[in-house]
Amino acid sequence: MITLNEIEIRLVQHLAKMRYAYCREHGATATLYGNIDKSEKAEAIKREMDYVGAELAFCKLHNIYPDLTHDTFRSSDCTLSNGETVDVKQAPGDNHRLLCKVEATKDHIRQGKELPDWYALMVGIMPKYKFVGFMAASDLLQDSRINYSFPVPAYTATQHELRLVIQLAER
């Protein structure tokens, strides 16, 4: 279990608010967002905090520096010591799957952005998370993994399909 400390929580709160504002300014929407009132905005920022908290917890666990940018749309959240990139996904509970939105992935490809090398799943909510495992992007981003039962189509993997350890390639 990775628990963020008080300073890390403040950093997450700040980044989440900044990322939320940037996304709204640029018309980006997620399934939770859209035309929202004040109470829904607070919930949206809380959800964003859970996402950013998972990213920071992953970096803390793997002793790497987090991506602290808030003013760009990224396809990965951090870079491992060998230069490979990771997109950290967050789920609130132990029985959730690794999910990656199909449309967001296709948007990154259309825009010429490099996709991450790995996807990682962290479960939990601010400030406590558990690392579940990795899956290579080449394994996750397969048409056979698209699940249409979510609000938006998503590539999915169950937790038992994820690897706790990856062998890092030398670059």
Residues 101, 75: Cα–Cα separation, whole Å: 12
Tokens of 26: 């640029």
132-154 core/surface letters (b: 16 or more CB in 10 A; e: else): bbbbebebbbeeebeeeeeeeeb
Residues 105, 141: Cα–Cα separation, whole Å: 9
- The SS3 assignment for 25 reads helix
Q: How much is the pLDDT for 34?
A: 43
Burial of 69 (0-12, 13-18, 19+ CB in 10 A): exposed
Q: How much is the pLDDT for 29?
A: 60
Q: How much is the pLDDT for 69?
A: 82
The residue written with tokens 């939105």 in the block is 101
Residues 35, 40: Cα–Cα separation, whole Å: 9
Q: What is the pLDDT along the chain (171 residues), one digit of tens a residue?
A: 999 999 999 999 999 999 888 877 877 665 433 455 556 778 888 999 999 999 999 999 999 998 888 777 778 899 998 999 999 999 998 889 999 999 888 887 888 888 999 999 999 999 999 999 999 999 999 999 999 998 889 999 999 999 987 765 554
**The whole model's pTM is what?**
0.88
The answer to whether residues 84 and 169 touch, using CB atoms and an 8 Å cutoff, is: yes
